[in-house]
Chain A
Amino acid sequence: MEVLNCKGAVLSNCEVYALLQDLCRQEKGRKSMMKTQADLANIAFETMKYLEKTACRNQNAEVIQGFLQAVKEFKLTKAEKLQLINLRPTTPVEMQLIIEDSEERLSEEQVEELIGLVELHLPDIDNPQTLVNGTPGK
Chain B
Amino acid sequence: MFQLAEIRHMVRIPPWLFGQTLNDAVVEELNRKLANKVVLNVGLCIALFDVTSLGDSYIFPGDGASHTRVTFRYVVFRPFMEEILEGTIKSADADGLQVSLGFYEDVYIRRDAMMTNSHFDETDGTWVWDYQTDDETHHLFMDIGEKVRFKVIAEQFTDTTPSAPGMTEGDGAVADRKEGKIPYIVFVSIVFMIVKKYMKR
Contacts and interface: CB of A to CB of B under 8 A. Distances in A.
Given A4-B6, A54-B86, A40 B192 contact: no
Give chain A's interface secondary structure class. helix
B28 A11 contact: no
Interface of A: 1-13, 15-16, 19-20, 23, 33, 36-37, 39-40, 42-44, 46-47, 49-50, 54, 79, 83, 86-87, 93-94, 97-98, 100
A2 B7 CA distance: 6
Nearest to B10: A1
Nearest to A12: B2
A49 B35 contact: no
A47 B101 CA distance: 9
Nearest to A9: B4
A6 B8 contact: no
B111 interface: no
B101 to A, nearest CB: 6
A128 to B, nearest CB: 19
B85 to A, nearest CB: 8
B5 A5 contact: yes
A43 B103 contact: yes
Given A37-B28, A79-B83, A46 B103 contact: yes
Interface stretch (B42-50, B57-65, B130-138, B167-175): B42-50
Contact of A40 (B6, B8, B42, B47): B47
B35 A94 contact: no
A8 B5 contact: yes
Contacts of A1: 7-10, 39
Among all A-B residue pairs, the 7 with the closest Cβ atoms: A46-B103, A50-B102, A40-B35, A43-B36, A8-B4, A39-B36, A5-B6
10 contacts: A3-B42, A4-B6, A4-B8, A4-B71, A6-B6, A6-B41, A19-B75, A37-B31, A39-B31, A79-B80
